[in-house]
Amino acid sequence: MKKSLLACSLLLCPVVFAATPHWEYSGEVGPAHWAKLTPEFGQCAGSNQSPVDLSGLVEAKLAPLVLHYQAGGNTVVNNGHTVQVGYAPGSTLQLDGTRFELKQFHFHAPSENLIEGKSYPLEGHLVHVSDKGEIAVVAVMFEAGKANPALAAAWGGLPAKVGEIQALKAPLSAEQLLPESRDYYRFSGSLTTPPCSEGVRWLVMKQPVEVSQAQVDVFKAVMHHPNNRPVQLLNGRVVLQ
C-alpha cells in the first residue's frame, strides 16, 4: 500500500491515485488538513517537509549535475492537481553514486519553493526515482519574459478535463526546460503532495528560465486554482549552494 501511494503521489498511476483520499489546495481538505485525512498522509505533518524558503544558504562544494536526458516526453495529462508530462524510460540523473530515472515532470503556479523569500509565477518539477524507490527532484523556476519554446511544445493543447491524456506531436526532452547554468541549491525534503513522503533529494536550479504571461495564464485556466503548497519550516535543515 505504501508503495502504491508513493507512486501515485508522483502522478504515475492515475487510477490508483484517484482512489486515494480526496485532497485539494484549499478548504477542509487543503494543505493544513492533509495529515489528518488518512494515516497514510501522516508525514504531511513531518519536520522535513517541502516546499521551503531557500534561505540561510551555506556554501558547499556541490558536485555538478550529471544528466543524461533523451527526448522521452510523450504524453500530457491533467490529473486535477497539476499538468504532467509522462516520460519514456531511459533518461537519468546520476547523484550520490545512484542512478535516478526521470519519470515525469509537472508544474505549479505560483512557485512552491521560494528563493530567499522570492516567489516565481511558475515552477517545474522533474521527478526522478531510483531502483530502490528513492526520489530526487530537479526544480526549475520560471520568471516573466519571452514565451518558453519547451512549454509551447508541451502545452500545445493542454487537456482541459481532469483525467484527459493527450499524446505529444513529437517527443520532448526535459533538457529544454533547464537553464544554461546548472548551478543549484540542495536540501532534503519531501514530496509536496500527499502522502508527503520525506527523504526526497531536492535540487533547485539557481538560474530561472523565461515564461510568457500568456503561457502562465493558459496553465492557470486549466487548473482553475493555485496549485502550490505553502512553504514549510526548515526546522534546522541546511540549504547548500
Q: For Cα atoms 129, 131, 132, give the angle at the middle one, nearest 5 degrees.
A: 90
The DSSP annotation for 67-128 comes to EE--EEEEEEEE-SS-EEEEE-TT-EEEETTEEEEEEEEEEESS-SSEETTB--SEEEEEEE
Please state, in angstroms and rounded to a whole number, the distance separating the CA atoms of residues 149 and 84.
17
Q: Which residues are catalytic?
A: 81
Q: What is the largest CA-CA distance in the chain?
A: 46
Report the alpha-carbon distance of residue 132 to residue 149 in Å, rounded: 34
Helix (H, G, I), strand (E, B) or coil at 59: coil
